[in-house]
Structure 1
Amino acid sequence: MRITGAVLEESGRPGPFAESLPLTVDELDLAEPGPTELLVRIEAAGICHSDLSVVDGNRPRPTPMLLGHEAAGVVERAGAEVRDVREGDRVVLTFLPRCGDCAACATDGRLPCERGSAANGRGELLGGGTRLSRRGEPIAHHLGASAFADHAVVDRRSVVKVPSTVPPEVAALLGCAVLTGGGAVLNASGVRDGEPVAIVGLGGVGTAALLVARATGHPVIAVDAVESKLAHARACGADEAWTPEQAAERGVRAPVVVEAAGHPAAFETAFALTAAGGTTVTVGLPRADARSSIPPLTVTSEARTVVGSYLGSSVPARDVPAYADLWLDGRLPVERLVSGRVARGDNNRAMEALAGGGALRQLITF
């Protein structure tokens, strides 16, 4: 079938992206879903820093590539071997399929799936190869989703079914921002009931961590260098909100600190704010050549723990329904993550806004 989507022609073009135009909206051919795959009509997609990291070259991927990995949609066709998802079901796309067979999949989310990670790196679906082409030339998939289009073919293991009562603009954000930020708090940190959580970096993932922490009964200390993000954090229920300098001056310490900025200075800030015996969880994705400096003596003398968490150490099939239930119960106001709406042709401007540091989650609706 013929679809329209936003294709990244090459990585690393300089900003402003509204002028260098790394993304072009073009017509593509989408093959039929295979036996274990689904054809999904995309309803809403979020623009995430992981998309920007491919655009600016910080996360190298094969190009040309149809971008987009955080989305929700409705199943229009299911492959012959798919039994548990039907036409008309609303599904959340997740950016790391789990094969269920490798050693990493046996770690309850702690390690990313080996086969899924390899397929993502190649720009392919979990079953191998691409279902996208343009004038006979293959187009790579982004993280098994390629959701900046009106339709996508995805592996069954790249989606989670949610109730139709969860609207698409909420459901889309469950698959990346909420899974990653919420999972950093609930899955990776070992946080105890009622313990305070500090969050460094209040973009989409950090704000999602804030919302999930509040929804599950944890006081939150929000930390960011951007004043507007601190104000938004207070509106989202943060008990305290400080710049890194203010937090240091006040001697802020927390038993659990989540770093969600993907920057070496933010990691150092998060470590400095962690109490003795506490846990620093890093969930941000910095440049591959980024380096941080922390005192190893402190790790030993204060019995500290530093934890890396990819996708919030989540098992999407388990965690997405739990977050959907929190939203349905009125406890998780996911809508607060949305900072703007994007017309389908304005992807480059949206990337520029994200690079500027002020945007949380911009949404494209189809």
Structure 2
Amino acid sequence: MWTDHAIWWHVYPLGFTGAERALADLSSEPHRFGHLENWLDHAIELGCSGLLLGPVFASETHGYDTIDHFRIDPRLGTDEDFDQLVAAAHARGLRVALDGVFNHVARSFAGPHEWFRRTGEGLAYFEGHDHLIALDHELPAVRRYVVDVMTHWLGRGVDAWRLDAAYAVPASFWRDVLAEVRARYPEAWFFGELIHGDYAAYAQESTLDSITQYELWKAIWSSLNDGNFYELASALERHDQFLDAFVPQTFVGNHDVTRIASKLTDERHLGHAVAILFTVAGIPSVYAGDEFGWPGVKEDRAGGDDAIRQLFPDKPGDANATYRLHQELIGVRRRNPWLVRARTTVEHLTNEAVALRSAADGQSLVLLLNVGDEPYHFPGEVAEPVVEAHSWKLTT
């Protein structure tokens, strides 16, 4: 399937284009997708093959409080503007994925309020946010609505869907929805946001193609910060087990977490994190801005996501060392596409040094990592590496 070669460039459009904080603040008719189109060649030059978009549908504020899934957010532009962006992406060979927020909606949601889920105390909210009302996924009408939304945009040229907060939705709901959608669009790809829980069981019951690999994300930055590659080794063992059920969607940054450059306590370890991402199994994504080493700390407060959802310049500037590092490692991935389902074994392990062998289809690649301040000499039985991760000076 085409996703075996997918490397996503992940964008949060409302922040990227400098859209108004709230739809109610809109006073003109902007056409902001052109701002994003200016960056498509950058994604290609980086080595990516897909554009993973955050919310683009009409919403009250941050995109996850949807009003109407059939309408492009007026802060971004029109349906025609969106069609042009998809056409421009496809002309460059970029697939396009949309963020499907189907667990909850805004209070001003355009659909029937009878679709809202209720508890004994009233409306059911998403994780305590009283402006995000949960939909009742037991209702056939809600299932029909989601099927209609997905097929509508797939019919407009979209290739894939990220399912936001999939963990909050019964797996059986996705199973029923995806059966109908795949009957019409068999090449479409669907991955769900799971932060914790039994990834493999959920993937099997829901029939999702992939699950966000938060366990590996945490192990990457945590092991680097603590100088404890035993944590990474344990996470990679579980990662391999997931491959029996699905190919995980892997990342070291996204729109919901502190940027990797700020998450790492030592900037020299950025190269190590990116090297792990692109040499183990999975369908990887790069969160826009991470390829430049941009900082950004997520905070648990109103507006706490602003620092990680920055406005981008009108056009890309000059490449820096961090960008070239990403290019180099994405190049390794593209020259070795078998890595998508590779099994990774630990060939040598200490707290601060590890040799990881990823192998599949009779091919293998060894990644050597050393986070100590002194050179490390790996045992002679460790094969010659294809990739050797150095300490990189972060350049912003």
User: TM-score, normalised to structure 2's length?
Assistant: 0.26
Higher strand share: 1
Instruction: Report which structure shows greater RCO (CA 8 Å, sep ≥6).
Output: 1
When Rg is computed on C-alpha atoms for both structures, the one with the higher figure is 2
User: TM-score, normalised to structure 1's length?
Assistant: 0.28
